[in-house]
Amino acid sequence: MLKPIFTLFFIALFPLSLLSDDFEMAVEEYKQGDFDKALFLFEKSCDSGNRQGCFNLAVMYKHGQGIVPNRQKSEALFSLACRGDVKECHFNSLNES
C-alpha cells in the first residue's frame, strides 16, 4: 500500500524538481553576469510553467539584458507571470522606468 503512494508522490514532485533546476541555474548565470545563458534558461523555465521564470524573463526583456529590449514581449511575460503566484508582481510594475 505504501509503495503506490510513494510512487505517486515521486511522479508528482519529479517534474517540479526539473523546473527548479532550470530556474536555479538561470539565477546563478544571471548573478554571474552571463545574461545570454540566463535568458535561455529563464525562457526554458517559463516555457515549462515556472511563473517566476517568466517574471525574470520579463525583466530581462524590459532592461535589454542579453537581448534587445522589447517592451511588448516584456509586458506579455509580466502578465503571464502575474497570473501565477509570483510575489514580485504585487510590488513591481514594468511601467516604472
Percent of the chain with pLDDT over 90: 60
State how far the Cα of 10 lies from the Cα of 13, in Å rounded to an integer. Answer: 5
Residue among 85, 23, 16 nearest 53 (CA):
23
Side chain identity at 37, as an amino acid letter?
K
Predicted pLDDT at 26 = 95
For the record, the C-alpha cell of 90 comes out as 504585487
State how far the Cα of 9 lies from the Cα of 17, in Å rounded to an integer. Answer: 13
**Averaged pLDDT, 37-46:** 96
pLDDT tens digit string along 56-74?
999 999 999 999 999 999 9
Predicted pLDDT at 21 = 82
State how far the Cα of 49 lies from the Cα of 14, in Å rounded to an integer. Answer: 14
pLDDT tens digit string along 4-23?
443 334 344 444 444 458 99
**Averaged pLDDT, 75-94:** 79
- In the chain the domains, ranked by start, together with CATH numbers, are 18-90 (1.25.40.10)
Q: Which residue in the block uniquely carries the three cell numbers 511575460?
A: 77
